[in-house]
């Protein structure tokens, strides 16, 4: 992890912070623990030194601090998506439920905050961590060149990042093997006889959207299929419906569509019915994430099935390892598995 | 609110607590603010006195307390449902998203905890409130004779209860007019010509399930329809499917089914297709809550539409009023509105 600016506990000591701020060790302790006895100006100077040096006090110091009530049994999660949109996406509630299943075992709680963008997210994490309200955080929706990777590492926040290690810097990360999953879905469709495959993807700035697009392009080239069209969306059913309508109305209609979540695939199924197209004979649909929605539609939706609940639990278990410095290693989550159901079949007639 | 054991700030003073515990006012302050200087045994005695008397320190005292970091800008929510089930229910994520939209305006966070039952929920709220980690809480899934109503009032927790005022004791409450909504749905179905109406309800212990069952029975009697069968479930799609299958396989098959949420109505739609029944000609379906799911199915689902996001926002706004003692009054949420869509129509032939 030498390529990151993370400084772990033990490298920087309270003496370094005191020296940088030009104060006594006692003053650092008072300021850090939010106790009276230092002026506001001094407090600010000390906290700047803490941030600059990435000082993390030992667990013993935390336990001894009277003001740390709560920090030891609280985990933070900040989500930078519009509040209204979040309620419509089964992924997050399942992820949070999985996280809660582990937190519950440890009698811990989740401190949840919705913000507008990553800049606000950084500010919230900084405040939570420096005011000792959380023991650590879960970072989600990792982007390319994500500013959280450097800025939150710099303040020494213990965290697990949900994203491919190529995107998460020195943070412990847990990721889904999106490339393998896209390859599996496309190989299966190609084996059924599909040659023109499209994709309704997620948000274009997210790391895993970019990985999935690249994986789709590489596998269709490798298998000699037609170039694949990917449309990006905000993950909402509404945009999923619009993207599906646009793909199915195009002169070179795809015979199969792969979706980046399941709510958009449900919307796609409805658009096909509205346009008088039979699923799977006229068009095959493959969903992603596989919440219970996929089994409630008619026909049922084939999906890249991903235990989102288990993923949330796994990430949270790793966060406890990171917080207690037992294990900082990254690892992939259980790989998504293709579950063919009623929405995928050979195309009605060969395409070319 | 004289019928409840709530003691609001101003009635009980720090002097009362000190007298009850046999200590000085200073010791009460140290213990309450989690500062060193009192023995653990004394602390416990003082906190018992705080609990017994329901002492709530003034906002000024809270602001002055160095250890209160976090309390002023954190709201608690404890949900007593199995973690895995929660992820599958769009209601909660929309409710939480609505709450977050208001918390975001106030730069506040939500402290979320999943527990197994109401007893655990009481313990979590007690700990959060007494360790000053939250400014107040939202109480959901109110049951008949709910123990939270007396026990959390006794510790002086500022809270808003989501439930009918007949169930929420002295707590400020926000509720949906479930009776009016059931009456509206049934009157509409009766006007279409339905005489045999069934319902797939929610959890039998919940207050609003009981209110909806009573409302259904009273309106079918009033309109001279056949007695209505209500089946209770855990709100999952799986149990919704099973209940629908059982109703549609019965010798006196209903011509219309009303569901207590939308995921069960989606499951019901799929069961009708699986059984070769046409929706709405053979059976009309009406969902509840009306998340975007209802517009993604084919046919689209008629629903008692309820702005769950707005409900979560409204409850949270009232909680801020309660915390700041601006307004303790209860009030109904915006009433659910019947939105007829593709899943309801006159029955194919008159039933009797």
pLDDT tens-digit series, residues A38-93? 777 887 788 778 767 766 554 333 333 333 345 678 999 999 877 666 666 778 88
Share of chain B above pLDDT 70, in %: 86
Per-residue pLDDT at B77 = 96
Query: A185 in a domain, yes or no?
Result: yes
pLDDT, greater one: A1 or A70: A70
Query: B325 in a domain, yes or no?
Result: no
Confidence of residue B236 (pLDDT cuts 50, 70, 90): confident
Which A residues 253-282 touch B at CB under 8 Å?
A: 263, 266-267, 269-270, 273-274
CA dihedral B5, B7, B13, B15 (to 10 degrees): 10
Per-residue pLDDT at B65 = 35
Is B90 near chain A, with CB under 8 Å?
yes
Query: B111 in a domain, yes or no?
Result: no
Query: B171 in a domain, yes or no?
Result: no
Per-residue pLDDT at B9 = 41
B interface test, pick of A62, A87, A269 with most B CB neighbours within 10 Å: A87
CA nearest to B31 within chain A = A66
Is A114's CB within 8 Å of B132's CB? no
Confidence of residue A191 (pLDDT cuts 50, 70, 90): very high
Query: A207 in a domain, yes or no?
Result: yes
The answer to whether B172 and B322 are in contact (CB under 8 A) is: yes
A interface test, pick of B31, B64, B84, B109 with most A CB neighbours within 10 Å: B109
Is A291 near chain B, with CB under 8 Å?
yes
Residues of chain A positioned with their CB less than 8 A from the CB of B124? 109
Single out the residue in A42, A69, A96 at which a domain terminates.
A69
Among left, alpha and beta (phi > 0; psi -120 to 50; other), residue A279 is beta
Per-residue pLDDT at B66 = 33
Nearest to residue A140, comparing CAs of A121, A159, A161, A156? A161
B45-76: pLDDT as tens digits: 887 787 677 665 543 333 333 334 456 789 99
Residues of chain B positioned with their CB less than 8 A from the CB of A36? 66
Is B83 near chain A, with CB under 8 Å?
yes
Which of B69, B112, B237 is facing A110, going by the closest CB pair? B112
Per-residue pLDDT at A256 = 98
CA nearest to B236 within chain A = A292
Per-residue pLDDT at B5 = 38
pLDDT above 90: residue B218: yes
Where helices occur in B131-280 by DSSP H, the ranges are: 147-154, 178-192, 207-222, 237-249, 262-274
Which of A36, A94, A237 is facing B292, going by the closest CB pair? A237
Confidence of residue A228 (pLDDT cuts 50, 70, 90): very high
Is A200 near chain B, with CB under 8 Å?
no
- Strand locations in chain B (E): 74-79, 109-114, 136-139, 159-162, 172-175, 197-201, 229-232, 256-259, 284-289, 302-305, 331-332, 337-339
pLDDT above 80: residue B87: no
Query: B96 in a domain, yes or no?
Result: no
Single out the residue in A17, A40, A69 at which a domain terminates.
A69
A267-289: pLDDT as tens digits: 999 899 889 999 999 999 999 98
Is B274's CB within 8 Å of A83's CB? no
The answer to whether B222 and B163 are in contact (CB under 8 A) is: no
Residue B200 burial by Cβ neighbours in a 10 Å radius (0-12, 13-18, 19+): buried
The answer to whether A73 and A135 are in contact (CB under 8 A) is: yes
pLDDT above 80: residue B240: yes
Calculate mean pLDDT across residues A320-344: 93
Share of chain A above pLDDT 70, in %: 86
Confidence of residue A338 (pLDDT cuts 50, 70, 90): very high
The ipTM estimated for the assembled molecules is 0.71
Calculate mean pLDDT across residues A228-249: 95
Nearest to residue A114, comparing CAs of B309, B275, B240, B57? B309
B2-25: pLDDT as tens digits: 333 333 444 677 788 888 888 887
CATH number at residue B255: 3.40.50.2300
pLDDT above 60: residue B338: yes
Is B296 near chain A, with CB under 8 Å?
yes
Share of chain A above pLDDT 90, in %: 57
B165-179: pLDDT as tens digits: 999 999 999 999 999
The Cα–Cα gap between B72 and B62 comes to: 8
CATH number at residue B61: 1.10.260.40
| Domain extent at residue A54 | 1-69
| Total structural domains within chain B | 2
Is A95's CB within 8 Å of B88's CB? no
DSSP category for residue B206: B
Single out the residue in A14, A35, A69 at which a domain terminates.
A69
Query: A250 in a domain, yes or no?
Result: yes
B interface test, pick of A97, A108, A263, A279 with most B CB neighbours within 10 Å: A97
Pick the range with the lowest mean pLDDT from A36-40, A296-300, B8-12, B157-161.
B8-12
Pick the range with the lowest mean pLDDT from A307-321, B22-36, B239-253.
B22-36
Query: B61 in a domain, yes or no?
Result: yes
Q: Closest Cα of chain B to A243: distance in Å?
A: 14
């Amino acid at each position: 992890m030498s390529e990151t600016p993370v400084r772990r506990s033990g490298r920087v000591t309270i003496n370094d912070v005191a020296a940088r701020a030009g104060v006594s060790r006692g003053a650092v302790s008072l300021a850090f623990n939010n106790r009276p006895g230092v002026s506001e100006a001094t407090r600010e100077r000390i906290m700047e030194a803490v941030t600059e040096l990435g000082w993390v006090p030992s667990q013993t110091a935390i336990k001894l601090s009277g003001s740390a009530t709560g920090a030891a049994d609280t985990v933070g999660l900040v989500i930078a998506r519009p509040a209204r949109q979040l309620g419509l996406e089964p992924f997050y509630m399942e992820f949070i439920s999985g996280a809660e299943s582990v937190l519950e075992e440890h009698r811990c709680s989740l401190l949840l905050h919705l913000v507008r963008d990553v800049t606000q997210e950084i500010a919230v994490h900084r405040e939570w961590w420096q005011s000792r309200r959380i023991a650590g955080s879960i970072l989600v929706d990792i982007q390319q060149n994500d500013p959280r990777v450097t800025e939150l590492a710099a303040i020494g926040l213990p965290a697990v990042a949900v994203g491919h290690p190529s995107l998460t810097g020195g943070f412990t990360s847990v990721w889904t093997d999106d490339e393998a999953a896209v390859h599996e879905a496309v190989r299966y469709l190609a084996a059924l006889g599909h040659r023109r495959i499209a994709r309704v993807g997620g948000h274009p700035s997210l790391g895993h959207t970019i990985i999935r697009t690249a994986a789709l392009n590489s596998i269709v080239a490798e298998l000699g299929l037609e170039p694949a069209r990917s449309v990006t969306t905000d993950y909402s059913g509404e945009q999923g419906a619009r993207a599906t309508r646009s793909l199915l109305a195009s002169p070179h209609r795809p015979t199969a569509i792969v979706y980046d979540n399941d709510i958009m695939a449900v919307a796609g199924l409805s658009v096909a019915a509205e346009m008088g197209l039979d699923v799977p004979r006229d068009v095959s649909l493959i969903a992603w994430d596989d919440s219970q929605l996929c089994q409630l539609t008619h026909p049922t939706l084939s999906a890249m099935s991903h235990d989102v609940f288990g993923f949330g639990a796994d990430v949270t278990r790793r966060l406890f390892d990171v917080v207690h410095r037992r294990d900082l290693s990254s690892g992939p989550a259980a790989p998504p598995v293709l579950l063919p159901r009623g929405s995928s079949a050979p195309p009605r007639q060969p395409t070319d």
